[in-house]
Structures are given as structure tokens and as C-alpha cells.
Amino acid sequence: MMVLGPIGFTAPWLLTGLIALPVLWFLLRVVPPAPIRRRFPGVALLLGLADEDHESDRTPWWLLLLRMLAVAALILGFAGPVLHPEVREPGSGPILIVADGGWADARDWPRRKDRIAAALEEAGRSGRAAALVAVTGDAPEVVFRSAGVVAAGLPGFAPAPYEPDAAAYAALAAALPSGGFDSFWLSDGLARDGRQVLLEALEARGRVTVFESPREVFALRPAVYGDGQVTLGVLRAHPAGEVAVDVVGLGLDPAGVERELARQVVTFGAGTGEAEAAFDLPAELRNRIARLEIAGQRTAGAVALTDDAIRRREVALVEGGIGREGLELLAPGHYLRQALAPTADVIEGTVEDMILADPDVIILADVARVAAAEPLAEWVEKGGLLVRFAGPHMAAADWDNAADPLLPVRLRSGGRSVGGALSWGEPKTLAPFLEGSPFAGLPVPDEVRVTSQVMAEPGPDLAAHTIAALADGTPLVTRKALGQGSVVLFHVTANAEWSGLPLSGLFVQMLERLAVSTRQAALGAEEMKGTVWSVERVLDAFGALDDAGDRPGIPGEDLAGARPSARILPGLYASGDRTVALNAIGAERVLTPAVWPEGVTVEGLVPARERPLSGYLLTFGLGLLLADALAALALSGRLAGWRAGRGAALALTAALLLPAPQARAEMSEERLIDAAGNVVLAYVRTGDAEVDRVSEAGLRGLSDVLFYRTAIEPDAPMGVDLEGDELSVFTLLYWPVTADAPTPSPTAYLRLNRYLRSGGMILFDTRDADVAGFGTATPEGRRLQALAAPLEIPPLEPVPQDHVLTRAFYLLQDFPGRYAGPPVWVEAAPPDAELAEGMPFRNLNDGVTPVIIGGNDWAAAWAVDDGGWPMFPVGRGLSGERQREIAYRFGVNVVMHVLTGNYKSDQVHVPALLERLGQ
Amino acid sequence: MTQPAPARPAGLRRKAEALASALPPLLADARHLAMTVQMGEHGRRRAGLGDEFWQFRPAHPGDEARAIDWRRSARADQHFVREKEWHAAQSVHLWVDDARSMEFSGDGRRTTKADRARLLALAISVLLIRSGERVGLADPVAPPRSGELQLVRLAQTFTAPAGDADYGAPEARAMLHGSRAVFISDFLGDPSGVERALTLAADRGVRGAILQILDPVEEAFPFDGRTIFESMTGAIRHETRRAGDLRDRYCARLAERKDRLATFARRVDWQFSTHHTDQPAQVPLLWLYHALERVRR
């Protein structure tokens, strides 16, 4: 191979042909194009006419150049030019391909796979055994097999949504087989502990080549809520120049469609690897954000799932005891407000107003009888959480009657006091929370004492409803499910009168566990102790949320502060009403680029590819020769007919080259005005040119007949494109159904339905003589069923004898087209239609049937050619002409029916009216 | 009738069949074409010898007494003479160029000039014979006669093979004094022959019409590139390197030729028109009919 700069030639000796080019020039120059002989009587007039110049007896210079270029291109093409010729030195022995396999690989995974495939292919070519291993894979095992076998498993090779840790690197290093082999490490470019261990182990076995993608790694830290803002850190691995990325917040809109709710441009300063995105959003919007991601980055690291941490609940607070004005520090609401204000949005008002506001939680503090019990119960059943606190009013109320559905347990009237001046016993402490209680795992502070409480009626289900109890076993907090929601009752007041609970930190924790309030910071192991979290959605390496399937639950203490691993995948975890997001990137993660020691070859992901150029050159040369042939023909005048056919040829070429014109374009204004300006019969374009032609001719024939015989003077019929045209301007749509008719788009169906509702009419014609009764056997019939299914078509019946269609203009008994006989279907008469004077009277949809369905091929019967003569024979002889006439009359009746509605139906009353007039 | 004596009966049969095969279509086409010119123009529209009643006119001195229509005269104080429509037969000479140049057609789908010329000639013959004129050729081969048989004779003459010359010149020797004539040719050859014939005809008081039949190609000259143009026999040739450059000059010469013919025709009181073979034959037929009508009066 001869290499000249970036181009090599596989057959360089062919280039000597270029020397012949000047000879060719000389030869071509002296040989003029051959003359053409023509017989021409007018030659007598030509005699004596001399040519004006003699230039053209030599080949024109541009034609020469064209030919020279063509020949040169062919010579070069056959010489086998190759761009970036690769001259490789093959290795030997087995080759190990190592991929980090973490989320950072996902950013250019297809290219990595291609690279692996290329490496495997190369190994296969040179007969080397190969192994492919991902560091993130569990139980690493390195077995060398033939490259083809390894390549067969490549499609299933996918990155994991977490990163390998030092242990994983060490495990792989330990699993490496002894014996020499070369290694091929597809690094994700991030520095990690343990990389060095593996590198050393690999270098001990043989040559190590590292491939790294130049593509930048971006990542998002978990979102944090603070000071009314959602903030999150944005990371990059290579702090080089200034780079701006878009961080977008995605979530469901009120219609349940995921869309972009917030977007912010974050700019990394030159040389910094960290930036911060701060979203200042209204609570409504903020609560909707389900995930934040870096636009255009499809990795798990560039996604920050949100959980309760940035969601703030709306809590409605309704207080009883309005009379105690002034004692604000003693009011029950005060403690609740203090507990909730940092983490929830508190609204206050009457119960009715609060239900309208539809908060997450409604808290009733010492309200014995709820004014709007019914709507409140409904609200709870729809998933609301109602939290009630006891108090003097509740204790004083009379609970002897039936159970209040808005209380979890039946209460005794009166309540009890312990440890007071007039009572025996000490104030009670809290019993430890039982397993299964939402408060399980919370520490019970000693200083909380309960002096008064309302008492529950003992019952078989009391224990089941109790989620917190005093040391003596009496319930402190009870809960009951009601519909999809639940009702929780604290048997003590929300202020410090009855107990010290509201003064303790436990109160806030309990509210948080009940999902009344939301936490501010990440849950610690302590707070999550005793809970089991089930994973609801898992994040894959590409940042997409998948269903978790049936993965086992994770204990809270494991989940708290967990680093994502094969056991605990990043995703959304839920326990009760609370959700926790585990992101691929921890809150303290910093991205640093991997540093490789000297001596390790680091290559980019895409090697310079060899590119054979001969195909291009040969194509170019052939194209030039083609152009030369055309030019030579044109010069010698042999392109006869070219002049005449030029327009057509150009149009054809353009039609072939250009993409299909925008057939779906909106209806032009002129067409709209034409259609709206007068009555226009329209047909649906089926895409079958012949059918469309017949439809057009048929409607033209019908229009002519209408023009001659009736007061309707329609304009020329129009073809309607269901996708783009405005239908409301058309009176009648004739829709010939072909067996392969394309289905209109949903928007087209929307328009069709609107058209039908607003009084339009569609005349369906299966044109198959409806041999089997409509829609049962013929392909057109089945197609009609499929086409008409999304249309709002009322119940149908064969045209009854007294239908207005039979007398809208002509008196008709049957409705033949080119075929006669099969019944024609129209909207059924209303079931309550009475036989008033011998016919059902309808006033539905102005009495106009929205569809007429038949298979008589009316258009063919109506069709006339440009001269006004029928295009198709109908029947035989005079009876056939009679049938055509009846077909025309049917058409006239249909158009009359559309235009005049039930007018003719009313005509039946004329005798009665005349009689009443005393005639 | 101009056939050479056949050497063998089979040859005679074959030639006769070949001849007969062309004859009926040509005659039928001509009749068909003539059908389109049923103008209702019968008679000469002037008084003369004939069978049809033309008009009553007051008797002048000198009218024979037997010419007076007594029945008409009895209804008035005057004497009336009954006049008949003039039904004199006119002789019309046809000359259809049978030179090789007429065999040209610029497009395989178009009829040749010769075919069109024959069709027109025969069609006008049909019309003329139907209205009682005598029609014949300009040369002595077929002198003007009337009657359907003359049509067959003419048709036979027209289907005879073409001559050998590149361009033809009209024959005026056999024309009767005061008759009418129709010359149909492309007139691309030497115009002096035409002028000579016209002069001779004018001397004999013959008037008529000249119809130039051209192929559209001859009118438009849509050629380009290096070309050798040959006449139909190949005797005349002209080579050019850029045919496109000649177009304007060719068209100018053609226009000049037409103008020369038209001027000369006007001078001897003939009619001149040009017909292209891509246009329907009715138009020139109508023109011919009217042209003859005009000169017949």
C-alpha cells in the first residue's frame, strides 16, 4: 500500500494511467461529434446558408474537462484509495475486556458496546480468546472463551445504575486468572478507590489499554428543600472551561401527563466541578416535581428523584373552643402550628371551607361534633387523613349513642383524670411502641406524662385500632381506616393541659410518622429504625424509572444513608404514606476524573476509521460520464423530444427527488371560501386514484342534475382530505369505502364527529353491491366497520317505507345506484316514535340522519364525463337508464334531505293544517 | 390506367389488390370529409339555365313570349318571366404534387403531406361532383368529367406511386379555357415552375386556389447540432454544424417563399393558403370550397 498523507492506495500502479490524460485531451479535442443525417424536404431553402462560426466543429472545452475529470476519477477510483489507512500490529494471547459498568457508562453506552464489539471482532479475527466482565457485576468470574461466544452475549450486557466500589474492584482483581493476557479497560473516566488495585493486578498479567470517552460526566446531587427553595448540586468530572447545562424538573401535570415543570440553566465556572441549581417554585408546582434531571444526560447519575423531603403537605387546622379568646399560648392550635409550620403549609378555617381546599390532612383540635360530618367523611374516604385531638369539649360530649364514623373508636363520655389533686394514682407514662405501629422504633421520652385523657369503650377491636398506648394499656392514639383514608384520634389535647406530649420532641416525630408533616433532612438510621421499606420504582442506569417487580423490602436502618448497590438499587422506596428516594449520587459525592499512571495507553472511544474512497470516486466518475453522454447528445441535437418533454421530465425528476409534498397541509383559504361560498358536494379522498376520479365525476353528475332540476345550484364537487380540511363547510360527504382505505387519525375522527354532530351527513358507499348484508363478508364491509367504529353513529335501520328520504324531492321506493337492491341503512327512528298520521316523527338532529350506509355504488351511476355523458353503463337498455334516473333521484333526495332537514316530514301535516284552517 | 402492362397475372393481381386496398379508404375518407361540408349551398344562386325555379322578374322587351309565366302574370298587371336557377357545370382542374418531397412526415404518427394532399383533392372532388361540376386533373391524363365514375378514376390516379423528382411543378397545359384549378403542393421547390403555370393559367382565364401543405417540422425547424440535411431522394444535401443557428434564417426564407407565392397568386387573382398536416383536414377543405365558390361566381 502506498500512503500519501491521509490517503493510501491499494493499487498504486494504476495511477500511471493518469499520464494518459493529456493524450486523451488531444484525441478528444480533434475529433468533433459525428453529424446526424436527416431527411428534410425544406433543404431546398437551406441551400447557401453558411454556419455562423466554426467553433463547434471542435469539442467544447467544458465537455473535454468533463471527460477528463471522469477518466481521472475512474483511474483514481480503481487505484483503491483509502482514507486513514490503519496499519495495526496484532497482539497475541487471550484478551480481557473490563468495563466499569456503572451509571457513568450509560452516557455513551451504545458506543461503548460498539467498541467492545469491535475489540471482540478483532480478537476473533486473530483467533484470540476473550472475556468480558463488568466491575459492577456480582460474583466476578473471568473465563476466556472464543470471541464469537463472548460477542453473542454482548446484547445482554448492560450497565448498572450504581457505581462499583473499592470492594468490587478488589473482588475482580482477586478473581483474575493467573497467566498472561492483555487487558482492555473501558473506563467511565471517574476516579474511584480500588481502581489502582485492579490496574496493578491487570498490569501484572499483561499489557493494559484503557479506553476513555471524552464525553463529560454530569451528575446531580439529591434535591434539598430549604428557605423556600429546592436546591441541588450539579457536578461534573472535568472542571475545564465554562459549561452551561439545563436542569429540568419533571412531574405530572393536573391532567396526569408528565411534562417539564421547571427548568434552570446552571453554569459551571471555569475550573470548578460543582454548581448549584436553585428552584424557587410555588408549593403547588414544587409538590408535583417527581424528578430533576440534567437535560440531555441519560444516566442515572444525572437524575435526582424527589421524595417527601421537598414535598410540603397542606394541613388544615380546625379548632374548637373559640370562646377562649386571648389564651393563645394555651390554645391547642398553637402547638400544632409550631410543630407543623417548618414543614407543612397550614391553613385554618371552618371544616366546610377546608374540605373545599382539599388539603392533605385536616386536624380537628377538640371538636366534638363536626358540623359537616357527611362531606368530611366523604373527603376521608377519598384518601384524606383526619387527625383529631381530644379536649374538654370532647370529654363533655355525650358519646352514648351510635359510634361516630369520624372517630376511630367509641368513646366514653367524661374522660378520666389521673394524678390530679382529686384522683388517685400517678400521671401515666407512655408504653413503648409496638411493632406494627407507625411509631415503632421511636424513642419514648420519660418526661412525657399524661394526666387526662378521653377513654375508649372497651371492645374487641380496640387493641387493633390502638397505635400508641399508655403504660397502663389505655389507648393514647387510635387509628381507623375509612375508605381510602384514615381517621386518627389523639386521646389527649393538642396543648399541654392534659399531657406533656405536645411539649416533647416525640410529638413532632409522631406527626411526621403519621405523614402529617414532612421531614426536613434526610432520614437517619435512628428515625428509620424498625420500619421496612418496599421499593416501588427502580432507576436504571439510563435514568429511567422502571417497575420494581417483586424485590424484597429493605429495613429502614439499611436504607438510611445507604449507598446504592446491587441489593439496594436507586429508586423510590415507600413505607406507609411516606416515600424516600434513593439516588445514584449521594449528597456528598464529588466527581473527579480518573488518573492513569504513566505507561498505560489511554485512547479515545472512537478510533480513526478506515474509509475506502473508491466507491465515491467511481460513482463520481460514472456520474460524470452520464452527464457527458447527455451533453454530447444535446450538442449533436440528438436529444429530440427533450425540448418538448423537458417540462415533464423536470417535473418528474423533481417529484422523484423531492419528498412527497405536504399533503396534510391545512386547507387553503381559497378552497375554504369556495367550499363555504355555495353548496358543494364533497367526497372523501381514498387514495385510490380511480375511485377518487369516479367519486368526483359522480358528484359532478349529481351536481348537474341538481342544477337542472332543483333550486340547489351546487359548485363543482371537491375532494376532501380528512386530515387537513375543514369539514364544517361541506354539506354532504360521499365516502367510498375501499378495502384498503387508510384509517384517519384521531384528530380527523374528532373533526368527523364534530361534523356529524353539527348536522353534516356522510354517505358511506362500499360499492360492492353489499352482497352479504352490510359489513359481514366483503372486505369493504369489514373495512367500513373498522372505519366507522370511532364515529358517533346512532343505531341504524334499513330505510323504512315512510322515511323522509323517500319523499324529500322525488317519491322513491328504492335507492339503486349502479347496483340495485340491497337495503340502505339510516339512523333508526327513535323507539318512541309514534305512527302519527302514518309515520314516525323525528326531531332528533334536525331530523337528518347523520349517515347513510349502502353499497350501491351511487357515484358510478351518477358519474358523467367531461362531455356530460354517463361514464359507466347501468343495467341494460331502457330499464338501466331508468335505474340511473332513480339513482339520480336518490341523490337529489339525499341532498334535499340534508339541506331541508325534516321539512318534508312536516309536510305530512299539511292536510291536517288545511283542515284546521276550515277549508 | 397508368399501370404498365403486367408481366404475369399474379403480378397483376397483387398490384390490383394493392391498388384497390388503398382506394376505398381514400375514397371513403374523402367522402367522409366531404360530408362535413354540407353547407346547403346548392345551385349558383343566379338566374340561368337549369331545372330549379329561381325567381320571377318583370318581362323586358325582347323576352320571348313563351318565357312569360302566364299564371303569375295573371295575378298582376305586368308580365312576369319565370327564371330558372343557373345550373351550368364548371370544369375544375386539380393538381396534386406527387413529388417525393410530399412523402415527408416529421413524425411517424402524422400523416404525410402527400396523403393529406390527396385526401383534400379527392374530398373537394366529391363536393364538386356532387354539386354537378366536372372535375379532372391538370394534366391530360384525366380530363374533367362529371359523375361518380370520375371520382373512382381520380382516386385511382391519386393512389398511383409517387414520381421520382424531388419537387414537382404544376401542369397547366391541359387546362380548359375559363375553367377553375386547384394546386396542392408544399411549394418548397423552385417557385418559377409554379409561377410559369400560374401565368399560363391566367392567360387562359383559369382562376383557382393554391393550397400549400407543410409539415409542422418544416415550419418550426426544431433541429440542433451537427446535421446533414438531405432531400427525400438524397439528391440535394446540406451540412451544417449548428442546425439551431440556421433556424431563424430558414424561417425567414420560408416566410419569403409564402409571401412570394401569395403575392403572385393575388396578381393573377388566385387564392393562396397554407395548411399544416397536424391540423384537421376540414379547415383547408372548407377554405378550398369557399375559394372555388368565390371564383366560380
Residue B253 contacts A where some CB pair is shorter than 8 Å: yes
Q: Check CB contact of B112 with chain A, cutoff 8 Å.
A: no
* B174 inside domain: yes
Q: Is the pLDDT of residue A832 over 80?
A: no
Q: Which amino acid would we find at residue B134? A: R
**A34 — contact with chain B (CB < 8 Å)?**
yes
What was the pLDDT predicted at A676? 82
| Cell numbers standing for residue A6 | 491521509
Q: What is the mean pLDDT of residues A47-57?
A: 66
**pLDDT at position B47, please?**
59
Q: Are A485 and A381 in contact (CB under 8 A)?
A: yes
pLDDT for A662 equals 41
Interface of B with A in 32-71 (CB under 8 A): none
Calculate how close chain A gets to B244, using CA atoms only, in Å: 9
Residue appearing with cell numbers 446533414: B228
From A644, which residue of chain B is nearest by alpha-carbon distance?
A: B222
Contact A335, A495 (CB under 8 A): yes
The pTM score is 0.41
Are residues B209 and B246 both part of a single domain? yes
Across the interface, of A43, A51, A635, the residue whose CB is closest to B229 is: A43
The three-state secondary structure class of A541 is coil
Residue B259 pLDDT: 93
Mean pLDDT of A636-664: 53
One domain, residues B172 and B64: no
Domain span holding position B74: 53-84
User: Are A43 and B246 within 8 A, CB to CB?
Assistant: no
Mean pLDDT of chain B: 79
What pLDDT, in 10s, does the model give residues A262-281?
888 888 888 888 888 888 87
Give the CATH number of the domain where residue B195 resides.
3.40.50.410
Check whether A56 has a pLDDT greater than 60.
Answer: no
Q: Residue B230 and residue A40: Cβ atoms within 8 Å?
A: yes
Cβ-defined contact of B225 to A637 (cutoff 8 Å): yes
Q: How far is the C-alpha of B110 from the C-alpha of A187, rounded, in Å?
A: 79
Q: Is the Cβ pair A36, B226 closer than 8 Å? A: yes
Both ends of chain B: CA-CA distance in Å?
34
Q: A868: distance to nearest CA of chain B, Å?
A: 24
pLDDT of B172 strictly over 60: yes
Nearest-angstrom CA–CA distance, A548 and A525: 23
Give the three-state DSSP class for B78.
coil
The maximal CA–CA distance of chain A, rounded, in angstroms, is 147
Same domain, B100 and B193: yes
Mean pLDDT for the stretch of residues A119-144: 83
pLDDT-above-90 percentage for chain A: 3
Is B248 part of the contact surface with chain A (CB cutoff 8 Å)?
Answer: no
pLDDT-based confidence at residue B258 (cuts at 50, 70, 90):
very high
Residue A586's pLDDT is what?
A: 82
Q: Are residues B119 and B58 in the same domain?
A: no
Q: Report the range out of A134-148, A661-675, B76-90 with the highest average pLDDT.
A: A134-148
B130 and B59, same structural domain?
Answer: no
Q: Which positions ≥6 away from A218 have C-beta within 8 Å?
A: A234, A235, A236, A245, A294, A297, A299, A301, A302
Q: Which residues of A touch B252 (CB under 8 A)?
A: none
Q: Do residue B291 and residue B152 come from a single domain?
A: yes
How many separate domains does chain B show?
Answer: 2
In a domain, B113, yes or no: yes
User: CB of A450 within 8 A of CB of A423?
Assistant: no
User: Is the Cβ of A422 closer than 8 Å to some Cβ of chain B?
Assistant: no
In a domain, B118, yes or no: yes
- pLDDT at A840 exceeding the cut of 50: no
**CA-closest candidate to residue A504, choices A338, A276, A683:** A338
User: Which candidate from A44, A46, A54 shows the least CB-CB separation from B246?
Assistant: A46
Question: Do strands A825-827 and A851-854 pair parallel, antiparallel, or not at all (unpaired)?
Answer: antiparallel
Residues of A with CB below 8 A from B246's CB? 46, 49, 51
Residue at B193 is within a domain? yes
- Over residues B187-240, the pLDDT tens digits come to 888 888 888 888 888 888 888 899 999 998 888 888 877 788 888 888 888 888
Q: Band of the pLDDT at A731, cuts 50, 70, 90?
A: confident
Query: What's the alpha-carbon Rg for chain B, to the nearest Å?
Result: 23
Q: Which residues, other chains included, contact A288 with Cβ-Cβ below 8 Å and sequence gap of 6+?
A: A251, A252, A253, A261
pLDDT band at A231; cut points 50, 70, 90: confident
Average pLDDT of the residues in A653-668:
51
Which residues in chain A are contacts of B243 at CB distance < 8 A?
637
Please tell me which residue, A2 or A72, carries the higher pLDDT value: A72
CA gap A805, B121 in Å, rounded: 63
State how far residue A25 is from chain B, nearest Cα, in angstroms. 21
If asked whether residues B64 and B119 sit together in one domain, one would say: no
Neighbours of B30 (CB within 10 A): 26
The whole-angstrom distance between residue B113's C-alpha and the CA centroid of its chain comes to: 14
CB neighbourhood size of A15 (10 A) = 16
Q: What is the pLDDT of residues B198-209, one digit of tens each?
A: 888 888 888 889
Residue B13 lies in a domain: no
Nearest CB among A36, A40, A42 relative to B225 is that of A36
Helix or strand or coil: residue A53? coil
One domain, residues B175 and B79: no
Lowest mean pLDDT among A129-133, A139-143, B4-8: B4-8
Do B283 and B234 fall into the same domain?
yes
Average pLDDT over residues A599-621: 74
ipTM: 0.73
Distance separating alpha carbons of residues B246 and B243, to the nearest angstrom? 5
* Residue B150 and residue B65 in one domain: no
CA distance B63 to B79: 10
Q: How far apart are CA A826 and CA B217, in angstroms?
A: 62
Q: Which residues have a Cβ under 8 Å from the Cβ of A873 and sit 6 or more positions away?
A: A880
Nearest-angstrom CA–CA distance, A662 and A568: 52
Residue of A nearest to B252 (CA): A45
Nearest-CA distance B196 → chain A (Å): 19
pLDDT band at A326 (very low <50, low <70, confident <90, very high): low
Q: Does A635 touch chain B (CB under 8 A)?
A: yes
Q: Is residue B19 part of a domain?
A: no
Nearest to A45 among B240, B243, B257 (CB): B257
- Shared-domain flag, residues B63 and B107: no
H helices, E strands: number in chain A: 26, 42
**Residue of A45, A54, A59 to mutate when probing chain B, most B C-beta within 10 A:** A45
| 3-state secondary structure at position A580 | strand
Judgement on whether residues B95 and B80 belong to the same structural domain of the protein: no
Q: Which of A65-79, A320-334, A897-911, B66-80 has the lowest mean pLDDT?
A: A320-334
Distances in whole angstroms, Cα of residue B260 to Cα of each of A471, A805, B192, B257: 137, 74, 10, 5
Q: Judge whether B252 lies within some domain.
A: yes
Query: The dihedral of CA A397, A403, A405, A410: what is its sign?
Result: positive
The pLDDT assigned to B7 comes to 41
Inspect the interface and report whether the beta carbons of B188 and A51 lie closer than 8 Å: no
CB pairs under 8 A, 24+ apart, for A280-284? A280/A228, A280/A229, A281/A230, A281/A249, A283/A312, A283/A314, A283/A345
Q: For the ranges A195-209, A791-805, A875-889, B227-241, which has the lowest average pLDDT?
A: A791-805
Contact A46 B250 (CB under 8 A): yes
Residue A219 and residue A621 in contact, taking contact as beta carbons nearer than 8 Å:
no
| Residue B179 is assigned to a structural domain of this protein | yes
pLDDT classification of A888: cutoffs 50, 70, 90: very high
Min mean pLDDT across A600-614, A686-700, B173-187, B245-259 is at A600-614
Question: A609 in contact with B at a CB cutoff of 8 Å?
Answer: no
Give the lowest-confidence range in A26-30, A487-491, A793-797, B120-124: A26-30
pLDDT digits (tens, 9 = 90+) for A147-200: 888 888 888 888 888 888 888 888 888 888 888 888 888 888 888 888 888 888
Provide the pLDDT for residue A70.
87
Q: Residues A632, A636, A640, A644: is their CA dihedral positive or negative?
A: positive
Which has more confidence, B265 or B14? B265
